[in-house]
Amino acid sequence: MHVLTLPLRLPLLPVTGVLRLGQVIADEAERQLHDPARIRRELEDAQRRRDAGEISDEELARFEEQATSLLVSPRTTVSSGPGEEAGPDDNRRQRHG
């Protein structure tokens, strides 16, 4: 059956490829944004900058609040199927077709 529909889908394959690439990039950006190790490094750097007098206590508190909100904010999820939300390992799902 897939062989019969391939000629109809063939012109759309570049578009679906670009859309899939965009989704992969968005997933990776979301993963990096909420990466606890990255956030911890940035918090340590902000603490070092405050200790060196480069930023004020208020700026450090603001930065800590923003970083903490990244850790506790819900991540956007990709639907795995009808009525399902993607789990942490579902971001790298494979399409068959």
Confidence (pLDDT) at 24: 97
Give the residue from 71, 62, 57, 63 showing the smallest Cα distance to 43.
Answer: 63
**Number of neighbouring beta carbons within 10 Å of residue 63:** 18
Secondary structure of residue 53 in the 3-state scheme: coil
pTM value?
A: 0.57
* 26 sits in which H/E element: helix 13-33
CA 97 to chain centre: 25
- For residue 57, pLDDT over 50 is answered with yes
Domains of the chain, residue spans: 26-71
- 7-21 pLDDT, tens per residue? 888 898 999 999 999
